[in-house]
Chains A and B, each alone.
Chain A
Amino acid sequence: MTDPTIIKIKNLSKSFVSKNGTVTALENINIDIKQGEIFGIIGMSGAGKSTLVRCINFLERPTSGTVIFDGKDLSLLSKKELERVRQSMGMIFQQFNLLMQRTVISNVCFPLEIAKVSKKEALKRAHELLEVVGLADKAKAYPAQLSGGQKQRVAIARALATNPKVLLCDEATSALDPSTTRSILALLKDINKKMGITIVIITHEMSVIEDICQRVAIIDNSRIAEIGTVEEVFTRPKSQTARKFVFPEGKRIDHFVSNRCCRIIFDGLSSFEPVIANMVLECKEVVNIIFADTKNIDGKAVGQIVIQLPEKELAAQKILNYLKAKGLTVEEVHNYV
């Protein structure tokens, strides 16, 4: 059996030397990315995630540690070999980075020119890819004539031209509006499914991770705070940073005054049953919904609802028992409201 790990980030650290001394951007990062998965890396701005993605294709050379891509230790490769390896790693960017003086089709041909593919073959491949990203009619247009979403589609087609094994996305949707973001993410998901290409997504938006990633690494202050499946991290965040991303208003949690609340976690098992409504009917006790956020992740209902429990101990216990009996994960949260 072949090794399912396509990218192995090993004890990777990166620091920059500036006028004001050495700045550590990444510290002892270890991640295994599996063949064919969509892996998310999330972090606040300045956490080091953009540096991390540039270390994966050695646009930034790590200060220590290494990256093993498809069995090759990148730190041991010559410049020439590294250039070859990069042809099997596509990359897209927040600012699209298209060649403004070239037409759309010529932009898609660009990496093929670099790889010295014949012009005829390159054009054929480029047309196919424009078909895939839904821009076949824009082949002769210049990037300046396209919208942001269309530019990113061209960038995706360009990144895929050399049939890479991995697609690195550096904040690829951060410059786009929500509906364009969704359509770009849907395209990436589709490409992942059809071509089996491994996708690494760098973002600061939890919604992007929830939408398409299977696993996620949360990076905070140059280190990995938490790593696991999106479901795990979303339903049972262990680190403070993960909680910040999971609770959209994470920062406020600390400031609430004490009261008795409980957090109901939907881990995808209880599907779409109207749990709260049924609970109110059964227990004949009213609750106050303080926070609710449920989503469809990979076809399952996942999310959380925070309710304020009745003051009477018996009533509160009744509700907790009911929810537990339903197979839901319930945790009492203090200091929430």
Chain B
Amino acid sequence: MFELIWQGLFETLYMTIVSTLLAYVIGLPLGVIMVVTDKDGIYPLVTLNKILGVIINLVRSIPFLILLIAVLPFTRFVVGTTIGSTATIVPLVIGAAPFIARLVEASIKEVDKGVIEAAQSMGATSFQIIYKVLIPEAKPSLIVGSAIAITTILSYSAMAGIVGGGGLGDIAIRYGYYRYQNDVMLVTVAVLVLIVQAFQEIGMKLAKINDKRN
């Protein structure tokens, strides 16, 4: 059983971390665009902002389990298979990116308007304001957001066990649920709890270290 759990743990961490990174590749720029193109933003593009907002809400309102099944053809197209942890990364990224975009948006909106104005008074371009002011100033909040994101993706990844997605969730369903092996179920849940705790703690510590505001 130890080997089984160990294997599951490895797969879960692989899925979660890779999916989080890829979801940020989409979600971070998307969140920044949402703030910047807002009608009070530094580069207002109201129509684009509205369209992106609707798309984000749309994807976010689909329950993950349904999204997981709905994108199976796309997953097969990208990865070549729909089974296993690599295949699960596809729906995880699609499901998490809009959620991350909203987290990023909320973090960046916290940046003091005065500081943005100061940068503008120095002749900073919109792009300079984004990568020299908005993102660095929002860093502690972005890190807290990423701890929330990674734990959410972790729980999504466990759901992927239903369609043979690999990882601890898969083990819990196959052994714990289908074969009534309660001990396996308990251990996998315990391991998941520990991982969530670890991610959350690390995230908060990092946020604190990076927060120079007090």
**Once the chains are docked, how many angstroms separate the CA of A111 from the CA of B137?**
16
Q: Are A91 and B137 in contact (CB under 8 A)?
A: no
User: Is the C-beta of A89 less than 8 angstroms from some C-beta in chain B?
Assistant: yes
* C-alpha gap A97/B136 in the complex (Å): 15
A249 to chain B minimum Cβ distance, whole angstroms, is: 33
Residue A292 interfacial (CB < 8 Å):
no
> In terms of DSSP, what is the predominant structure of the interface of chain B?
helix
Among the stretches A36-44, A79-87, A260-268, the one at the interface with B is A79-87
> From residue 110 to 164 of chain B, which have CB atoms closer than 8 A to chain A?
112, 114-115, 117-125, 128, 132-133, 136-137, 139-140
Knowing A83-B125, A86-B121, the reply to whether A101 touches B114 (Cβ < 8 A) is no
Point out the residues of chain A lying under 8 angstroms from B117, CB to CB.
59, 93, 97
Question: A126 to nearest B CB, angstroms?
Answer: 14
If A83-B125, A97-B112, A101-B137 touch, whether A91 touches B132 (CB-CB below 8 Å) is no
A144 adjacent to B212 (CB under 8 Å): yes
Q: Are A97 and B114 in contact (CB under 8 A)?
A: yes
Inter-chain contact B122/A142, CB cutoff 8 Å: no
Give bound CA distance, A84 to B210, whole Å: 32
* Total of A-B residue pairs, C-beta within 8 Å: 77
Are A97 and B213 neighbours in the complex by a CB distance under 8 Å?
Answer: no
Q: How far is the CA of A102 from the CA of B212 in the complex (A)?
A: 8
Residues on A with C-beta less than 8 A from B61 are none
Report the count of interface residues on A (CB-CB < 8 A): 30
Pick from B115, B120, B140, B214: contact of A59, CB under 8 Å:
B120
A123 vs B140: C-alpha distance when bound (angstroms): 26
Nearest-neighbour CB distance to chain B for A8, whole angstroms, equals 20
Q: How many residues of B contact A (CB 8 A)?
A: 24
Nearest A-chain residue to B118, judged by Cβ: A97
**Residue pair B118, A84 in contact (C-beta under 8 Å):** no
Cα A113 to Cα B137 with chains together (Å): 16
Given pairs A89-B121, A91-B118, 10 additional interface contacts (CB within 8 A): A91-B121, A93-B117, A99-B133, A100-B112, A102-B212, A110-B119, A110-B132, A114-B128, A115-B122, A162-B122
Q: List 28 A-B contacts (CB under 8 A).
A: A57-B121, A59-B117, A82-B123, A83-B123, A83-B124, A83-B125, A86-B121, A86-B123, A87-B122, A87-B123, A91-B122, A93-B114, A97-B115, A97-B118, A98-B115, A99-B136, A100-B213, A101-B139, A101-B210, A110-B119, A111-B122, A114-B124, A114-B128, A114-B132, A115-B123, A142-B213, A144-B213, A162-B122
**Nearest 5 interchain pairs by C-beta:** A86-B123, A97-B118, A83-B123, A91-B121, A97-B114
Binding site for A on B (CB under 8 A): 112, 114-115, 117-125, 128, 132-133, 136-137, 139-140, 210-214
